[in-house]
């Protein structure tokens, strides 16, 4: 690896395109997270009841019902068949995320995302080791466990402990001691496991990941030939295993990041000084030649744009 890997992550992109462009998807994402929280707060704060409820279930303009499909699924396992309103709501949300990428929920909507992003920032600041890294299928085990407990107890099991709804509902309706769950997730990610909660354990993320397996909106490493191995995309990606097959693929391999773990957060687009990544659809078959094969003794320095 070159000396450039020692630069702060994203520094080249900032030098190349300016700070704003090198953070555009991060800023958009934060705006989106604030937006989805604010929708539900303008009611209690200003008495304008356009949006009622929370992420578990809501009613918009008294006509559009939305329901969390994962909670609805747990209800099925608890042997409750809901009213049509909830079913329609779950269907709308389910179809939307199936199209734009299930884990778009994780990076653009979920209120826990800023918490774990903050934890990751502190984790790096403190120079902690990555700690316990559960196997990549652990989240699916947890998902199965939640559904099993729903069936055994006859309840919507995850809602008793879910830090996402605890935080979201807490901010809108009143927090109680729910912040303890949020702090627990934060501390877990800082001290126990890097990117541990969202990246390895959360069954909500696992569910939405499965939901978006065939999603249309995808990120493509279309200009992967230009990659100069600065590794910044791997450093910012919360699910870094998803990048490799696309970025390091051969000519015949697709440059699309097709893994359902990808949250479509767009940070790789932000930090790449070579502009390798872009948002596109899964049907995009623009030819994307792989970069030249390099040997260990002759790294990519020659191909660097900044050189």
Partner 1 sequence: MSAPKRKPSSMDRRRFLQDAARGAAGCAVAGMALTQFISDARALPAQAIRPPGALDEDDFLAACIRCGLCVRDCPYDTLKLAELGYDGPATGTPYFTARDIPCEMCEDIPCVVACPTGALDKELTNIDDADMGLAVLIDEEKCLNALGLRCDVCYRVCPVIDEAITLERRHNERSGHHAIFMPIVHSDKCTGCGKCEKSCVLPGESAIKVLPRRIAMAEAADHYKLGWEDKNPLVDELIDLPDRLPGPGTDNLVAPGGYTTDALPDPSMEGGFTSSFSLPGTGGSN
Q: Which residues bind partner 1 (CB under 8 A)?
A: 43, 49, 52-54, 56-59, 65, 67-68, 71-72, 75, 78-80, 82-83, 85-86, 89, 135, 137-138, 141-142, 144-146, 148-149, 152-157, 159-161, 165-166, 169-170, 172-178, 180-181, 244, 248
Q: How far is the CB of 82 from partner 1 (least distance, A)?
A: 4
37 or 269, CB closer to partner 1? 37
3-state SS, the chain, equals CCHHHHCCCCHHHHHHHCCCHHHHHHHHHHHHHHHHHHHHHHHHHHCCCCEEEECCEEEECCCEEEECHHHHHHHHHCCCCCCHHHHHHHHHHHHHHHHHCCCHHHHHHCCHHHHHHHHHHHHHHCCCCCECCCCCCHHHHHHHHHHHHHHHHCCCHHHHCCHHHHHHHHHHHCCCCCHHHHHHHHHHHHHHECCHHHHHHCHHHHHHHHHCCCCCEEEECCCHHHCCCCCHHHHHCCCHHHHHHHHCCCCCCCCEECCCCCCCCCHHHHHCCCCCCEEEECCCCCCCCCCCCCECCECHHHHCCCC
Q: How far is the CB of 136 from partner 1 (least distance, A)?
A: 10
Q: How far is the CB of 105 from partner 1 (least distance, A)?
A: 16
Q: How far is the CB of 248 from partner 1 (least distance, A)?
A: 6
5 or 244, CB closer to partner 1? 244
Q: How far is the CB of 139 from partner 1 (least distance, A)?
A: 10
Q: How far is the CB of 76 from partner 1 (least distance, A)?
A: 10
166 or 271, CB closer to partner 1? 166
248 or 305, CB closer to partner 1? 248
Residue indicated by tokens 């395109």: 17
249 or 278, CB closer to partner 1? 249
Q: 271 is written with which tokens? A: 């930090």
Q: Contact, 163 vs 185, CB < 8 A?
A: yes
Residue 217's closest CA among 268, 257, 255?
257
Q: How far is the CB of 203 from partner 1 (least distance, A)?
A: 10
Q: How far is the CB of 293 from partner 1 (least distance, A)?
A: 10
Q: Contact, 268 vs 278, CB < 8 A?
A: no
28 or 92, CB closer to partner 1? 92
14 or 110, CB closer to partner 1? 110
22 or 242, CB closer to partner 1? 242
């Amino acid at each position: 690896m070159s000396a450039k890997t020692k630069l702060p992550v994203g520094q080249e992109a900032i030098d190349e395109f300016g700070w704003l462009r090198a953070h555009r998807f991060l800023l958009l994402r934060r705006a989106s997270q604030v937006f989805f929280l604010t929708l539900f707060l303008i009611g209690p704060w200003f008495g304008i009841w356009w949006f009622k409820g929370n992420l578990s279930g809501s009613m918009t303009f008294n006509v559009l019902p939305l329901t969390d499909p994962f909670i609805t699924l747990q209800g099925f396992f608890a042997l409750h068949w809901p009213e049509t309103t909830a079913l329609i709501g779950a269907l709308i949300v389910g179809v939307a995320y199936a199209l734009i990428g299930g884990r778009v929920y994780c990076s653009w909507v979920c209120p826990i995302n800023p918490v774990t992003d903050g934890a990751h920032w502190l984790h790096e600041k403190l120079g902690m080791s990555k700690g316990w890294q559960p196997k990549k299928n652990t989240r699916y085990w947890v998902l199965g466990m939640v559904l099993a407990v729903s069936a055994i107890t006859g309840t919507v099991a995850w809602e008793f402990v879910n830090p996402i709804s605890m935080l979201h509902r807490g901010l809108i309706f009143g927090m109680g001691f729910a912040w303890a769950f949020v702090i627990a997730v934060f501390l877990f990610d800082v001290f126990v496991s890097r990117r541990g909660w969202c990246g390895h354990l959360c069954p909500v993320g696992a569910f939405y990941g499965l939901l978006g397996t065939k999603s249309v909106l995808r990120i493509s490493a279309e200009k992967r030939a230009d990659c100069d191995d600065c590794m910044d995309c791997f450093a910012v990606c919360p699910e870094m295993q998803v990048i490799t097959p696309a970025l390091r693929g051969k000519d015949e391999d697709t440059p699309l990041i097709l893994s359902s773990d990808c949250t479509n957060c767009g940070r790789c687009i932000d930090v790449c000084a070579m502009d390798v990544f872009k948002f596109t659809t899964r049907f995009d078959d623009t030819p994307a030649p792989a970069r030249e094969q390099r040997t260990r003794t002759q790294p990519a320095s020659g191909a660097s744009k900044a050189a």
